Amino acid sequence: MASNKKYWKSEAELSPNDSIVEALKQNEFPEEIPVDEFLGDKQQLASAQTSRRDFLKYVGFSTAAASLAACEGPVHKSIPYVFQPERIIPGVANYYATTIADGFDFASILVKTRESRPIKIERNKEARVMGGTNARIQASVLSLYDSTRMQGPTAKGEPVEWDALDAGVKSKLAGLRGTGRQIALLTQTYASPSAKRLISRFAEAYENVTHVVYDAVSDDAALNAFEARYGERALADYDLSKAELIVSFGADFLGDWQGGGYDSGYSKGRVPQNGKMSRHVQFEANMSLTGANADQRIPLTPARQKVALAHLYARLNGSAAGGELPEKATRALEAVVSQIGKAPGKAVVLCGLDDPDAQAVVLAINEMLGSQAFDVAAPRYVRQGNARKLSQLVADMNAGKVGALIMDGVNPAYSLPNAGEFIEGLSKVDISVAFSTNQNETTQHTTFAGAANHYLESWGDAEFKKGHYSLMQPVIRELFDTRQFQQCLLNWMDAETTYYDFIRETWGESILGGAEWSQALHDGVYTSAAPEADPKMPAGPADKETGSASEAAGQVSVAAAVRRLAGAADAGMSLVMYPKVGMGDGRQAGNPWLQEFPDPITRVSWDNYITISKKDASDLGLVNTHVANGGMDGSYVDLDVNGVTLNRVPVIIQPGQAEGTVGLSFGYGRAVGMKKEMQTGVNAFPLYQDFNAIQSVALKKADGMHEFACVQLHKTLMGRGDIIKETTLEDFNTLEAAEWNPVPQVSLDHQEVPATTVDLWDSFDRSIGHHFNMSIDLNACTGCGACVIACSAENNVPVVGKEEIRRSRDMHWLRIDRYYSSEETFEADNLKKDGFSGAFESKSGFEEMEDPAANPQVAFQPVMCQHCNHAPCETVCPVAATVHSRQGHNHMAYNRCVGTRYCANNCPYKVRRFNWFLYSDNDEFDFHMNNDLGKMVLNPDVNVRSRGVMEKCSWCIQMTQKAILDAKREGREVRDEEFQTACSNACSSGAIVFGDVNNPESEVARLKESERMYHLLEHVGTKPNVFYHVKVRNTNEA
Amino acid sequence: MKKVLNRHQLSALFGFCLVVTFLFSPSLYAQDDAASDQAAAAEATAAGEEGPCGPGDPDKGKQLFNQNCAACHALNRKMTGPALANVASRLIEEEGLDCEWIYAWIKNSSGMIASGDAYANRIYEEYNQAAMTAFPTLSDQDINDILAYTEATPPAPAAPAAAAAGAQTDAGASGGVSNELILGALAMVFALLVMMLILVNRTLRRIAEANGVVLEREKAEKGLPLWKAFAQNQFLVLVSVIFLMLGAAYFAYGWMMQVGVDQGYAPIQPIHYSHKIHAGDNKIDCNYCHSSARVSKHSGIPSLNVCMNCHKSIYEYKGNPEGPSAEDLAMGYTNEFYTNEIKKLYKAVGWDEENQQYTGETQPVEWVRIHNLPDFAYFNHAQHVTVGKIECQTCHGPVEEMEIMYQYSPLTMGWCINCHRETDVQMEGNDYYEKIHAELAKKYGVEKVTAAQMGGLECGKCHY
């Protein structure tokens, strides 16, 4: 049955009389060009100094000057290499496999280099573990070219030579020998076998060395629980492709939960195959990316989530647990339990609560179920932070027990909740060195700031998961006088070796086991051939003999944990802090791509904010309003968490936010070592007490309104209606496709006929050669946004800044629309309405129905140029700057465009972007395209557009052209997987597939035959070459 | 009587022309004479030379030397290997070695080094442990020939070479028939013709006068002057104005269309690199230096190490066999000039000629780019060179004749489009095209398909 749900992007759209929504529907460019400002005022015009004669003189002179200047062409220099490196051919890209392991993001990646400049990050498709990329990893290449990077080491802010730094540190370290004071290493998580070995060697060379690992956004509770149960400080790994039921308690596993990277496995199970797909139930407070993808999402406060988890354990265990739950949650739990009962091994439970009890119970449940998706034999090492050791270190520092503090990849002065204490302690340390690519809050207080290499300039390795290794190699020589931390440690140990040799040694001794180093380096990944241990009996302290005893002890403690969980209660309002999809823990806050990346859920860029439910907002008198140009304003609140206050935090009213909770993201509010424009938002870390993301908070409304750069009301489809199609798994399995995926009907000769059969135009014959199509599966798309950044990187999409985004002038060629819809269909409401008895019931019942925003369903839809075969933009261009190709591309010739913007007006999908300004070489746009360093990231195969021209998705024609040319040169046919675009390449969940439909063997041709296939706004008759797959929700309960 | 006079004048003219022809012709042969004299002299001294290890033929030796040895050895100069002038006698006299040693060394030098031969090891060390290629195929007689050649050449060829160069300079100055001279001659012929006409005219008049024919002088017209009559004819004025304006517009359009078109642009380069010498005289394949044209969008300016592949051994310019032409000399392109340009390369690449090694002090050469496509136009060399199999000269013109490289084609969009319309796609033997070709040929009913029919005129193929 076709879904007749109503979709909306902003709550404002639910109000029938919102004039701004109406205006935005009618007007793509809501802001008038301010002609009146300078021509409207007759009086001012008359009294102006410039007479008409003068004006004509200026015009004449400038025209003449411009034409004279044009007569003489500029002289271009071409400077070849003196000695050309063997592997570099100008104009041909080289790819290197490397690894990002910056302490927050871990992945095996490929780096595309042109003339030895890294310009693009790609997935390493050969990696079996963590080979996907997210928005931050995609954007990390731009951080390499950050013009605010440290260009050499500094001492108290003054530039210093490395030799001086080395000498200073070495003499100090030597002086600490025998004093009994600590040498402390405070580092990020490396998950690196070589770094681990190096640090132990360093500890041998000097006495009293302590190594504290610190994750800004900590998984300490989960690590402790795992360590207690399995004897190793690691995290359980989950293969979600093997799960038929995923139950998550506050775990944002499509975001950054426990290191992230779960989206590809998840998406595999989400595409209906043979009538089956996984079912995902999410209990959470904030509307997270994961909750947005869930089949059923129950908004609960953190305490209630704990209770629900206790209930689940009890039900599975056959016992009972106390604690009250809302009816909806109980029903959901019942359904979950009954489905688990059918296939316990196919279910998995995940938990993102920073609570050791909750984490212990989840491990117990998964073990009890014998979940196939649950892997503790080869656990993950990507989070190692130890909160206890860290607080010990801060205490030791303040007690004067620490002689030297060496930091790498951490910024505790920014990200520690007790940063003040830390800074005070730092002053009692004799010598402190912080390694960082940029100056930051911590380097301001240290003796030395070590200018560190970017990871693309470094050697390294990582063991993401037991037995799964990845190698990091430099793809460019250090741009500045920088050094990586590991090399400095080696220097300070007087080891006459490079870190590269050290890694080779480590690998040769303990990892490779006879395999080729160069092969491992080439692949970037290496999986040790060690036999997999019995997955349910991991190595740990629990030996065979004592197994039963410790198991019994474990059960006792789990039972206690369940009791504690069941007794959990909220104390007032709960604050749930989370890392934002675009910003993570804030280490890349200086990256303009990430700042401009709209959050997948709120669609807000350049900010963090409090998310609050509608009810709580109205109780506190907080509002979101829209202004005429489509921008959004929000109230401010003051926060108070156990006496720590945060003032004037802007508020977003978030549909689906659990009542009694508010959300706030980490990573913002940084101010040191970055450009003015990037210093956005507020710092949530001071509220992150005891490394617990859940805090009790008091809110108070503050004065004023905050101006957001929110794109959710931009680019509306002018009232053309819904472009999302969705159905339920049950309908999908039982009904004909025409029921749940109907082709729109249009009237032809007063007869209703399918829109696809009517054609106003003569169609061009595209049967010869390539004909490109793109498939986007709404079931597989998680909305992560990696494609958005990949597109910006590949196509030199400019960053426009907060002000311009607010004016609806964002330049992203690819946007991911987020639609809300009410959970129940209107038919359910109708039934309910008809069933009302009595005035009182009907009043409360209607009020219930009136709030569709309480817990909406969410759908993500990536929209780029649809490359219509009958493109409306082409017919209105007065200069034929946009025309069609026989390969299916809708071409845009920038040099031909005169900027009338007719095409954008006529585009039903609103995918065209206008260059309102010159964004490159313009200091008004102080991002990356105005300096030589930042410009190094530009793709030399794609134009940098100038002011006044229209641009849009080109389907990465430079990539298809290259694939074709490679085939021609080698005299062979193009292989299907060679046709890619930046977005399809970046998509680790397989939602975006690109290819040639004239090749019947291609993946995209197969997908086009799917029953779920539909085109956007089919009734308009544009015949797009991009097609979508109907979203199927597994609402079948049990 | 007077007719006789006339004839006399004509014959005098003919005679004059003859004189002019003779003036130029002997010098054309002078150069050849000089060259053949020199060669004969060299032959005379070389013939019958008794080599140190037996009789050898220096001519054959020279051939063998150039084939096998010249990459690493010169006669009077250290290169990768030692200078070889009088090598045999030097070795025999100074090092006390014998011919057998020389044979053994040439046939298997590494064996000699391995066997621990003192001198072999010394020379190996001296030349940076660069092992000499073994030449087991050379017979003893071949080696004798080579040795004869090395003995035959006088140790210091500076004087004769300079003399030869001098001779060449003289010959060139008087000999080469440049365009200017031809033009001058033509002008003179033309002047003579004019003179003749005047003379004929005068003669005819005299005849007429003598014969009593009265020529009708222009009758003084009393009518309006021509310009006034023109001004009064309004229709004519209108038409002429229209034509003038159209003409002006045509030329204005033409002038404006050349703005930004740099056809013929030939900037002065930091090193005077002559494509004529490299691609023309020496017939080096374009792709040898511009190797990336086969695989990349850029043809690539060769890096200096590519230059050094040859210029490690080619350290001076010896001129083409005929010697520099008069025009070259007029431009100052003497052998010394070119040799100096090679020195510029050495300086840029940091090559120490004395010690035959790189110093590491490099100075990248800032060439002035000649072919500048605007950024919004994408052009890929590999597509045209490798796939399209188009000669470089199609777009770049007769590069092998260009002393100074210039932009041959206008590089305008019209020019690109035109070629795409006219050029057939090279489909034979390329599996990529097999299926497409069959289908397209069927569709258009032709055997050949042009680039335009393949979609080569679509905007997005070049603009993205």
Q: Are A651 and A635 in contact (CB under 8 A)?
A: yes
pLDDT band at A811 (very low <50, low <70, confident <90, very high): very high
% of chain A at pLDDT higher than 90: 57
Coil, helix or strand for A443?
helix
Q: What distance in Å separates the CA atoms of residue A313 and residue A563, rounded to the nearest whole number?
A: 10
Q: What distance in Å separates the CA atoms of residue B143 and residue B108, rounded to the nearest whole number?
A: 13
Measured CA angle at A442 (ends A440, A447), to 5 deg:
115
- What mean pLDDT comes out for the span A350-369? 91
- What mean pLDDT comes out for the span B390-415? 92
Phi, psi of A825 (to 5 degrees): -75, 165
Answer yes or no: is pLDDT of A541 > 50.
no
Chain A nearest-CA distance from B382, in A, is: 8
Chain A nearest-CA distance from B11, in A, is: 56
Q: Which residues contact A565 (CB under 8 A, 6 or more apart)?
A: A306, A307, A309, A310, A321, A323, A355, A357, A358, A361
DSSP class of residue B384?
I
The DSSP bridge pattern shows strands A1013-1014 and A1026-1029 to be: antiparallel
What are the Cα distances from residue B431, in Å, to A771, A886, B386? 18, 21, 14
- What mean pLDDT comes out for the span A317-345? 86
C-alpha count within 13 angstroms, C-beta hemisphere, residue A852: 23
Can you give the pLDDT at residue A828?
A: 54
Q: Does residue B78 lie within any of the structural domains? A: yes
Q: How many CB atoms lie within 10 A of CB A472?
A: 24
- With both helix axes pointing from N to C terminus, report the angle between A419-427 and A387-398 in degrees, rounded to the nearest 10: 40
Pick the closest to residue A703 from A607, A639, A609, A635 (CA basis): A635
pTM assigned to the model? 0.83
pLDDT in tens, A584-596: 999 999 999 999 9
B455 residue type, one letter: G
What are the Cα distances from residue A1008, in Å, to A860, A980, A1033? 20, 17, 20
Residues of B in contact with A961 (CB under 8 A): 461
CATH code at B119? 1.10.760.10
Pick the closest to residue A12 from A713, A815, A654, A709 (CA basis): A713
Q: Does B305 touch chain A (CB under 8 A)?
A: yes
pLDDT band at A491 (very low <50, low <70, confident <90, very high): very high
Say if residue B402 is exposed, middle or buried (CB neighbours under 10 Å; 0-12, 13-18, 19+).
middle
Can you give the pLDDT at residue B446?
A: 77
Residues of B in contact with A896 (CB under 8 A): 459, 463
Indicate the CATH number for domain A221-380: 3.40.228.10
- In this complex, which of B259, B368, B440 lies closest to A768 when CB atoms are compared? B440
ipTM of the complex: 0.84
pLDDT in tens, A243-264: 999 999 999 999 989 888 899 8
Q: Identify the CATH class of A7-13+716-832+861-1033.
A: alpha beta
Average pLDDT over chain B, rounded to an integer: 79
Answer yes or no: is pLDDT of A108 > 60.
yes
Contact B439 A767 (CB under 8 A): yes
* CB pairs < 8 Å spanning A and B: 156
SS (H, E, C) A356-371: HHHHHHHHHHHHHHCC
Which domain does B155 fall in, by range? 50-167
Contact B440 A885 (CB under 8 A): no
Q: What distance in Å separates the CA atoms of residue B208 and residue A599, rounded to the nearest whole number?
A: 107
Q: Which residues contact A848 (CB under 8 A, 6 or more apart)?
A: none
Q: Which residues contact B373 (CB under 8 A, 6 or more apart)?
A: B379, B411
Phi, psi of B141 (to 5 degrees): -65, -40
Can you give the pLDDT at residue B12?
A: 52
DSSP class of residue A725?
-
Phi, psi of A384 (to 5 degrees): -130, -5
The DSSP bridge pattern shows strands A402-408 and A182-187 to be: parallel
Q: What is the residue extent of each domain of chain A?
A: 7-13+716-832+861-1033, 154-218+385-527, 221-380, 574-589+598-710
Can you give the pLDDT at residue A1018?
A: 87
Q: What is the DSSP string of B90-143?
A: HIIIII---HHHHHHHHH-HHHHHHTT-HHHHHHHHHTTT-PPPP-TT--HHHH
pLDDT band at A414 (very low <50, low <70, confident <90, very high): very high
Answer yes or no: is pLDDT of B162 > 60.
no
Coil, helix or strand for A626?
strand
- With both helix axes pointing from N to C terminus, report the angle between A547-566 and A356-369 in degrees, rounded to the nearest 10: 120
Which segments of B290-334 does DSSP mark as H helices, in order? Answer: 304-311, 326-331
Q: Which residues contact B258 (CB under 8 A, 6 or more apart)?
A: none
Contact B376 A965 (CB under 8 A): no
- What mean pLDDT comes out for the span A756-777? 85
Residues of B in contact with A967 (CB under 8 A): 432
- The partner residues of B133 in beta bridges, in order of sequence, read none
Indicate the CATH number for domain A154-218+385-527: 3.40.50.740
- Cα distance from N-terminal residue to C-terminal residue, chain B: 84
Q: Does residue B358 lie within any of the structural domains? A: no
Q: Does residue B117 lie within any of the structural domains? A: yes
- As given in the structure block, the two tokens for residue A318 are 């056959």
- As given in the structure block, the two tokens for residue B267 are 């900037």
pLDDT in tens, B246-256: 999 999 998 88
Of chain B residues 320-349, which have a CB less than 8 A from chain A?
348-349
Which segments of A247-353 does DSSP mark as H helices, in order? Answer: 263-270, 289-293, 302-317, 327-342
Pick the closest to residue B346 from B326, B331, B362 (CA basis): B362
Answer yes or no: is pLDDT of B127 > 90.
no
Residues of A in contact with B440 (CB under 8 A): 768-769
Can you give the pLDDT at residue A556?
A: 61
Q: Which of A969, A970, A975, A978 has the most B C-beta neighbours within 10 Å, making it the best mutation to test the interface with B?
A: A969
pLDDT band at B44 (very low <50, low <70, confident <90, very high): very low
pLDDT band at B320 (very low <50, low <70, confident <90, very high): low
Average pLDDT over chain A, rounded to an integer: 87
Q: Which helix (H) or strand (E) holds A619?
A: helix A614-620
Q: What distance in Å separates the CA atoms of residue A254 and residue A288, rounded to the nearest whole number?
A: 9
Q: Which residues contact A750 (CB under 8 A, 6 or more apart)?
A: none
Q: Are A853 and A11 in contact (CB under 8 A)?
A: yes
Residues of A in contact with B433 (CB under 8 A): 968
Can you give the pLDDT at residue B47?
A: 44
Answer yes or no: is pLDDT of A238 > 90.
yes
Of chain B residues 256-285, which have a CB less than 8 A from chain A?
259-260, 262, 267
Q: Are A864 and A856 in contact (CB under 8 A)?
A: no
pLDDT in tens, A113-154: 998 899 999 999 988 888 889 999 999 999 999 999 999 999
Q: Which helix (H) or strand (E) holds B187?
A: helix B179-211
Q: What distance in Å separates the CA atoms of residue A988 and residue A254, rounded to the nearest whole number?
A: 11
Q: Are A589 and A320 in contact (CB under 8 A)?
A: no
A858 residue type, one letter: V
Q: Which of A72, A84, A918 has the most B C-beta neighbours within 10 Å, making it the best mutation to test the interface with B?
A: A84
Structural domain tally of chain B? Answer: 1
Q: Does residue B430 lie within any of the structural domains? A: no
Q: What distance in Å separates the CA atoms of residue A490 and residue A496, rounded to the nearest whole number?
A: 8
Pick the closest to residue A92 from A117, A109, A123 (CA basis): A117
- In this complex, which of B306, B386, B464 lies closest to A969 when CB atoms are compared? B386
pLDDT in tens, B332-380: 888 888 889 999 999 999 998 888 888 888 999 999 999 988 888 999 9
Can you give the pLDDT at residue B25?
A: 47
Q: Identify the CATH class of A574-589+598-710.
A: mainly beta
Q: Which residue has the higher pLDDT, A823 or A674?
A: A674
Q: Are A375 and A538 in contact (CB under 8 A)?
A: no
% of chain A at pLDDT higher than 70: 91
Pick the closest to residue B435 from A843, A931, A769 (CA basis): A769
Can you give the pLDDT at residue B304?
A: 92
- With both helix axes pointing from N to C terminus, report the angle between B2-46 and B158-175 in degrees, rounded to the nearest 10: 170
Q: What is the DSSP string of A202-266?
A: HHHHSSSEEEEE--SS--HHHHHHHHHHHSSS-EEEE-GGG-SEEEEES--TTTTGGG---HHHH
Residue in chain B nearest A940 by alpha carbon:
B375
Q: Does residue B136 lie within any of the structural domains? A: yes
Matching fold, domains A7-13+716-832+861-1033 and A154-218+385-527: no
A458 residue type, one letter: S
pLDDT in tens, A687-701: 999 899 999 999 999
Q: What distance in Å separates the CA atoms of residue A297 and residue A299, rounded to the nearest whole number?
A: 6
Can you give the pLDDT at residue A721?
A: 63
The residue behind tokens 């490396």 is: A190
pLDDT band at B456 (very low <50, low <70, confident <90, very high): confident
Answer yes or no: is pLDDT of A723 > 60.
yes
What radius of gyration, in Å, describes the C-alpha atoms of chain B? 34
Say if residue A777 is exposed, middle or buried (CB neighbours under 10 Å; 0-12, 13-18, 19+).
buried
Q: Which of B458, B461, B462 has the most A C-beta neighbours within 10 Å, making it the best mutation to test the interface with A?
A: B458
pLDDT in tens, A146-193: 999 999 999 988 999 999 999 999 999 988 888 888 899 999 999 999
Can you give the pLDDT at residue B166?
A: 42
